[in-house]
Amino acid sequence: MSNPQISMRETDVILAQLAKVITLPGDVVEFGCYTGDTSVRLAEILQRAPNKWLYLYDSFEGLPEKTAEDQTAAGWRFRAGELKASPGTVAHKFKKLGLPEPVIIKKWFNQLDDADLPSQISFALLDGDYYMSIKTSFEKVVPRLVAGGIIIVHDYRNTELPGVARAVNEFIDANAKYYDFQLISGLAVLVKK
Ligand SMILES: C[S@@+](CC[C@H](N)C(=O)[O-])C[C@H]1O[C@@H](n2cnc3c(N)ncnc32)[C@H](O)[C@@H]1O
C-alpha cells in the first residue's frame, strides 16, 4: 500500500529501526498519525511483540498554526487545518487488516498529559511537520525513552518544512552526549545511549 506522506524507502528504514528495539521494554508511539498508513505498518511489526502497545497521537484537526521557525524562503507551504483525518478512519484501517486496536488519542500534542502517555517508550516516530509540534513531541517522549530506545523524525531534510530540522538540531545541540544521531534516507534517527 503506498502512503503519500512517507515514502516506501523511508517506511523501510522506520520498520527496520523498530525491529531493532523490539526486545527492549517500552511501548511505541507515533506523534502525527494522520490516516494511519504508517501506523498499521508499525503495528504489523509489533505483532512479534504482543506485550507492546501502540499509541497514536493526532489533533485530528489537521495542522496547527505555524510559527516563524517554519517559514521558508518561498513563503508558507501548508495551512492550518490541512491534513485533517479522523480517529475512526485510523481505527477502521486497523480493523480491516485484522491488527490489534491501538490507543488513539485525539489531542494537540501540548495538551497530552501523563495519563495519555505510556510510562516507558522504546520507539517514537515524530511526524508533526512543524517546529513546535516536533519540539513538543520531544518533550513528551524524552523523559519516557528507555536506554537504547529510538526516536525517528520525519521530514528532517524537507526544505518545505524547515521547522523540523530546526527543532531536531536544537535538541541535538542540547543533548548530544545522551544520543547517537544519524541521517538515514533523510530521516533523523536518534538512539538513546
Ligand atoms: C504529515 S501528517 C502525519 C503522517 C503520518 N505519520 C503518516 O505516515 O501517514 C502530520 C499530522 O500531524 C498532526 N499534527 C501536527 N502538529 C500537531 C500537533 N501540534 N498536535 C497534534 N497533531 C498535530 C496533523 O494533524 C497531521 O495529521
The reported pLDDT for the residue numbered 170 is 98
192: helix, strand or coil: strand
Best of 38, 127, 161, 187 to mutate for ligand 1, by most ligand atoms within 8 A of CB?
127
| 9, 15, 34, 106, best to mutate for ligand 1 pocket (most atoms within 8 Å of CB) | 34
Q: Quote the mean pLDDT of the chain.
A: 95
Q: Is the pLDDT of residue 77 over 90?
A: no
Residues having CB closer than 6 A to ligand 1 are 3, 5-6, 32-34, 37-38, 58-59, 62-64, 83, 85, 108-109, 127-130, 133
Percent of the residues in the chain that have a pLDDT greater than 90, as a whole number: 87
Per DSSP, the three-state class of 132 is helix
Q: Can you give the residue ranges of every domain in the chain?
A: 8-192
Q: Average pLDDT for residues 156-175, to the nearest whole number? A: 96
Our measurement of the distance from residue 26's CA atom to the centroid of its chain's CA atoms, rounded to an integer in Å, reads: 15
Maximum distance among all Cα pairs of the chain, rounded to whole angstroms: 46
Q: Is 1's pLDDT higher than 90?
A: no
Ligand 1 nearest atom to the CA of residue 30, by list position:
6
Is the pLDDT at 100 greater than 80, yes or no?
A: yes
Q: Which class is domain 8-192?
A: alpha beta
Residue 160's contacts (CB-CB under 8 Å, 6 or more residues apart) are 72, 77, 78
Query: How far out from the chain centre does Cα 176 lie?
Result: 20
pLDDT digit string, tens, across residues 18-70: 999 999 999 999 999 999 999 999 999 999 998 999 999 999 999 999 999 99
